Amino acid sequence: MQAYKLLARQEGLSNNKAKKLIDDGLVSIEGKKVVIARAEVPETTRFSVKKVEKPKVIFEDEKIIAVDKPAFLTSGDIRFDNAELIHRLDKETTGVLLFSKDEDFRKRCVEAFKKQRVTKLYVAWVEGIVSEETVVDCPIKTVKKGMAISRCAKDGKPAKSIVRPLEIHGKKSKVEIEITTGRTHQIRVHLAHIGHPIIGDSQYGARYKANRVLLHAKYLKIFEYELSAREPKDFKGFN
């Protein structure tokens, strides 16, 4: 039986809802993520469905709302009646995400992002040993055919990332990444380019499995605002 149909039967869901859970990366079998909703599986298969956490507001004033975005929730799925999204994070990335209550202020923020006047720090678990700071200055080209795929290319848009080591556990490293540009999948592409793909990021060559791409937006500074989000539990426990 096809995976999404069996999941729908077991969980008492519609076929569409079950398929969406699989497409969103929330369904696993014995710890391994189900990636193809229409894959044939034995009818004795038992699924595990991950619950998506709700976004937490970490700061709010008359101009801005900052939330700690959970994994497996797209930026566009988070909505406020009185605020508009300023920037985006990948679906599996956790951390600081900003909304503006004032349209003029939102435009100022968007301009600040474009002109690289925002400080953005991320942390990630990567494959291999990272023992010294590395600057990755490699243009990125993105092709969008259903799913966006980026790569380093001479004819791409300028992109720069600074990678700093934080911890080493066996053949895995925890790193901090500062980005001065914001290209699609920039951190994922740059880390893969230097031979240290993010754990769980099979799209960009990771071999080590995880429930998600282990990337977290921990700190953002824009104008007078300095905002930070604690590492999630699954991220802290990965060592």
- Residues designated catalytic: 90
3-state secondary structure the chain: CEHHHHHHHHHCCCHHHHHHHHHCCCEEECCEECCCCCCECCCCCCCEECCCCCCEEEEECCCEEEEEECCCCCHHHCCECCEEECCCCCCCCEEEEEEECCHHHHHHHHHHHHCCCCEEEEEEEEECCCCCCEEEECCEEEEEECEEEEEECCCCECCEEEEEEEEEECCEEEEEEEECCCCCCHHHHHHHHCCCCECCCHHHCCCCCCCCCCEEEEEEEECCEEEECCCCHHHHCCC
